[in-house]
Structure 1
Amino acid sequence: MSTPPLTAPPSAPRLSFEPGRRLPAWAPRFLIVFAVLMLALVGALCAPALAGAGSAYLEVLTPVVMWAPAVAVVILHFAFGRPVPLLTWAGLRGAPFKRIVGGIAALLVLMLAVPAAVIGLAAAFGFVEFSPSPEASGLAVWVLPLIAATMLLTLGEEFAWRGYLASTLAPWGFWRSAAAIGAFWALWHLPLTAAYAVGGVSSWREVAATTVNLFLAALVLAGVRYLTRSVWPAVAGHAMLNTVLVFAYSNLMTDAAALPAGAYWGYNAVSWAVWGAAAVLVGSLAARRARNRATS
Structure 2
Amino acid sequence: MVDMTTTSSPAPAAAVRLPSRRDGNLPAWAPRFLTVFGAVMLALVLALCAPALAGADSGYLGVLTPAVMWAPAVVVLALHFAFGRPVQLLRWAGLRGASPGRIAGTTAALLGLMIAIPAAVIAASSALGFVEFAPGADARGLAVWVLPLAAATMLLTFGEEFAWRGYLASTLAAWGFWRSTAAIGAFWALWHVPLTAAYALDGVSSWREVLATTVNLFLASFVLAGVRWLSRSVWPAVAGHAMLNTVLVFAYSNLMSETSALPDGAYWGHQGLSWAVWGAAVVVVWAPVARRTRAAAR
Same fold (TM over 0.5): yes
The correspondence of residues 64-83 of structure 1 with structure 2, limited to 5 A, is: 64-83=67-86
Report the Cα distance in structure 2 between the residues aligned to 1:281 and 1:105, rounded to whole angstroms.
15
Spell out structure 1 runs of 4+ moving beyond 2 A: 9-15, 287-294
The correspondence of residues 152-231 of structure 1 with structure 2, limited to 5 A, is: 152-231=155-234
Report the Cα distance in structure 2 between the residues aligned to 1:76 and 1:12, rounded to whole angstroms.
20
Give the match for residue 17 of structure 2: 16
Matched to 2:127, the amino acid is A
Matched to 2:69, the amino acid is M
The two structures, once aligned, show a CA RMSD in angstroms of: 1.6
3-state DSSP of counterpart to 1:257: coil
3-state DSSP of counterpart to 1:246: helix
Unaligned segments of structure 2, at least 5 residues: none
Q: Is the 8 A contact 1:174 1:287 kept in 2?
A: no
Count, aligned residues: 290
3-state DSSP of counterpart to 1:54: coil
Q: Return the offset for 1:257.
A: 1.0
TM-score normalised according to structure 2 size: 0.94
Q: Return the offset for 1:106.
A: 0.6
Q: Is the 8 A contact 2:6 2:88 kept in 1?
A: no
Q: Is the 8 A contact 2:73 2:163 kept in 1?
A: yes
Moved more, 190-199 or 19-28: 19-28
Report the Cα distance in structure 1 between the residues aligned to 2:190 and 2:10, rounded to whole angstroms.
34
Deviations 1:71-121 (A, max 9, x none): 000000001113211011101121111111111101100000000000000
Unaligned segments of structure 1, at least 5 residues: 1-5
Q: Is the 8 A contact 2:16 2:94 kept in 1?
A: no
Give the match for residue 252 of structure 1: 255
Give the match for residue 132 of structure 1: 135
Matched to 1:106, the amino acid is A
Report the Cα distance in structure 1 between the residues aligned to 2:187 and 2:292, rounded to whole angstroms.
25
Q: Is the 8 A contact 2:52 2:202 kept in 1?
A: yes
Q: Is the 8 A contact 2:107 2:239 kept in 1?
A: yes
Q: Return the offset for 1:66.
A: 0.1
Q: Is the 8 A contact 1:67 1:155 kept in 2?
A: yes
Percent sequence identity is 73
Report the Cα distance in structure 2 between the residues aligned to 1:34 and 1:169, rounded to whole angstroms.
13
3-state DSSP of counterpart to 1:177: helix
Match of 1:293 among 289, 293, 296: 296
Q: Is the 8 A contact 1:166 1:178 kept in 2?
A: yes
Report the Cα distance in structure 1 between the residues aligned to 2:55 and 2:84, rounded to whole angstroms.
42
